[in-house]
Structure 1
Amino acid sequence: MNNIKTKQLVTGGMIAAIYVVLTVLAAQFNLASGAIQVRFSEALTILPVFTVAAVPGLTIGCLLANLLTGLAVWDVVFGSVATLIGAVGTRLLKNKPLLAWIPPVLSNMAIVPIILIKVYAVPDAWWFLVLTVGAGEVLSCGLLGLLLWRSLKNIPAIKEMK
């Protein structure tokens, strides 16, 4: 029992660390925040299909990445909540991986535009921000996430994580 908890803790920590590194990398190209964002780290949102440890790993990774990239406190909080909601949704769809990338897209489309308008006073219309954030999430979670899932799904050690 302890061995399983230790593996989950380590796995979650590794996912959080990778999320942070990929977000900081995206920030170097001005892709990690704003009306148009394509976080490479969002590809990791497919990982709850493989392990429950990805849910806290992604949430903590998002929280740390948002802190390290200098986002406002409300963005740190509610951006992390969007990630948590998306990760839980993905975990619930673990047996339907071709659909499992959709919850993070929807949660970010619902929450991030509100953050952009209320916290950063982005002047764009809400519907425009829903479309731009959604497009970036479809690229990150959908395209990159499904490529990641396809790359990992047949690896024996990954299959055993459930």
Structure 2
Amino acid sequence: MKNKNISTMTQAAMIAAIYVVLTYVFAPLSFGEVQVRIAESLTILPLFTPAAIPGLFIGCLIGNILGGAMLPDIIFGSLATLLGAVFTYRLRNKNKFLAPLPPIAANTVIVPFVLRFGYGVALPIPLMMLTVGIGELASCGVLGMVLYYALNKYKNMVFKPCC
């Protein structure tokens, strides 16, 4: 039991670290009204392991802090990723093509309000929902599914809990 907990914590920490690195390296794409956060492709990982849920949340939280995000973005942007990860995990036994939908929906609804009230962006909220949604579709839907197919071959080796 103890080794399983260590394995889960290690997976979560690795996912968080990868999320932070991807957010930081691709910072020009990761923030703003039009954003394609490459790190959001990792929101497919709850299909493989529940450790991805805290890993994605903590990674997003740290990535937003290091990226210089405002407090509302740090809080609500990270919560959007958490919501997406939880509902992706809940869809793990359903159709895999539905898995990107929770993070796309959560970010499409929440992030435009963060942009408006956290950053004062004056664009209409429906327009920002469209731009954020397109970015999430690219990162979660397209890149996330590419990642899914790349990892699915190795899921029993990579995401297998220890002991």
Give the TM-score range, shorter chain.
over 0.9
Q: Which residue of 1 aligns with 2:21?
A: 21
TM-score relative to the length of structure 2: 0.95
1:89 to 87, 90, 97: 87
Using the alignment, how far apart are the partners of 2:134 and 2:50 within structure 1? 27
CA drift at 1:26: 1.2
d(CA) in 2 for partners of 1:66, 1:87: 17
1:45 aligns to what? 43
Partner of 2:72: 74
Whole-angstrom distance in 1 between the partners of 2:88 and 2:11: 17
Decide whether aligned partners of structure 1 residues 110 and 160 sit closer, same or farther in structure 2, where only a CA change above 3 A counts: same
Gaps of 5+ in 2: none
Contact in 2 for aligned 1:153/1:159 (Cα 8 Å) = no
Q: What residue is the counterpart of 1:57 in the other structure?
A: 55
In the alignment, the residues of structure 1 paired with residue 107 and residue 159 of structure 2 have an alpha-carbon distance, to the nearest angstrom, of 28
Matched position secondary structure for 2:74: helix
Residue by residue over 1:105-162, the C-alpha shift from the partner in whole angstroms, topping out at 9 and shown as x without a partner, is 000001000000011111110100000000000000000000000000111313635x
Letter in 2 for 1:53: A
In structure 2, distance between residues paired with 1:26 and 1:131 = 21
8 Å CA contact retained: 1:42, 1:145: yes
State the one-letter code of the partner of 2:80.
A
- CA distance in 2 between counterparts of 1:143 and 1:98 reads 10
- Number of residues of Structure 1 aligned to a counterpart in Structure 2: 159
> Residue 35 of structure 1 corresponds to which residue in structure 2?
33
Quote the residue 2:107 is aligned against: 108
RMSD of equivalent CA atoms = 0.9
AA aligned to 1:15 is I
Query: Which runs of no fewer than 5 residues in structure 1 stay unpaired?
Result: none
Separation of aligned partners in 2, 1:67 and 1:103: 23
